[in-house]
Copies of this chain bind each other. A is one copy, B any other.
Amino acid sequence: MSIDRVLLKISGKIINPENAELIGRYALVVSKLVDEGYRVAVVVGGGPYARSYIKCARALGLSNAQADMIGIEVSRVNALLLAYALGERAYVPIPRNIEEVEEAWSTRKVVVVGGLQPGQSTAAVAAIVAETLGIKRILYATDVEGVYDRDPRKFPNVKKLDSITVDELAKVLSQKFEAGGYELLDPLAMQVVKRSCIEVIVFNGYNIENVVKAARGEAVGTLIVPCP
């Protein structure tokens, strides 16, 4: 069995205090990956509680950076929930910047983080952390089955794609962006996965089995192909 490294990015829609049972299952699946010989880093989003806090930040007239920082703090609480649920396998406290990520990784533990800096999506954090730790595969757990050929919230008969290149995705997203769009990968995330040739596998994170399949490279969701 070869030792491999993967980064698991979990949307805050999935990992948040409303979903204790799902957090528990994520702790189990990450433990399973560790037991199979993977080194695992995890990036957790903010979710609905972050949104409530950010809404309050805006009502208070705080700056965008401050609102982002508030949301980042909430994503770190989500990260701490998962890290504690992982027990001895995970590093605590939650790293707060890229140097602390490197330091935590030096202990050989699972490293769980939330956000790192204002102005970045969780996807960008995932890309930068993966690149820093030499990880070549991002497991992207979200609330849809993968990337579709058209916006599934607007069109009826959309088709899930098995794979798409970063460049094609960039075109699709930029179109959607003007139309309101959704944020799978922001420009920074795309730039990083492309320059360092990091695979991203987008899948439905409510189906926990997908995580193991994606780690092993089995067909699941949509593979974003980073380089020729």
Measured between alpha carbons, how far is A57 from B62 in the docked complex, in Å? Answer: 30
Does A127 have its Cβ within 8 Å of any Cβ on chain B?
yes
A77 neighbours in B (Cβ, 8 Å): 53, 70, 73-74, 77
Residues in B with CB closer than 8 Å to A55 are 17, 20
Q: Give A47 Cβ to nearest chain B Cβ, in Å.
A: 12
Does A191 belong to the interface (CB within 8 Å)? yes
- Sort chain A's interface into a size bin: 35 or more
Give chain B nearest CB distance to A84 CB in angstroms: 5
Query: Does A66 contact B84, Cβ atoms closer than 8 Å?
Result: yes
Binds B, one of A90-98, A152-160, A204-212: A90-98
| Complex contacts, A131 vs chain B, CB 8 Å | 63-65, 118-119
Smallest Cβ-Cβ distance to A55: which chain B residue:
B17
Q: Which of A19-55 contact B (CB under 8 A)?
A: 19-21, 23-24, 27, 49, 52-53, 55
Closest-by-CB residue of B relative to A87 is: B134
Chain B hits for A127, CB < 8 A:
119
Cα A127 to Cα B65 with chains together (Å): 10
Chain B CB within 8 A of A149 CB: no
Q: Is the CB of A93 within 8 A of B84?
A: no
Question: Which residues does chain B contribute within 8 Å of A134, judged by CB atoms?
Answer: 63, 87
A73 lies within 8 A of B73 (CB) = yes
Whether B85 pairs with A62 at a CB distance below 8 angstroms is yes
Partner of A92 from the list B19, B103, B116 (CB cut-off 8 Å) is B103
**How far apart are A204's CB and chain B's nearest CB, in angstroms?**
22
Q: Is A192 an interface residue (CB 8 A)?
A: yes
Given A65-B131, A102-B92, decide whether A60 and B80 contact each other with a Cβ distance below 8 A: no
Residues of chain B lying within 8 A (CB to CB) of residue A120: 188
In the complex, the answer to whether B132 meets A128 with C-beta atoms within 8 Å is no
Shortest C-beta distance, A89 to chain B (Å), equals 10
A98 in contact with B118 (CB, 8 Å) = yes
A98 and B196 CA atoms in complex are apart in Å by 25
Closest 3 CB pairs of A and B: A20-B59, A17-B56, A97-B97
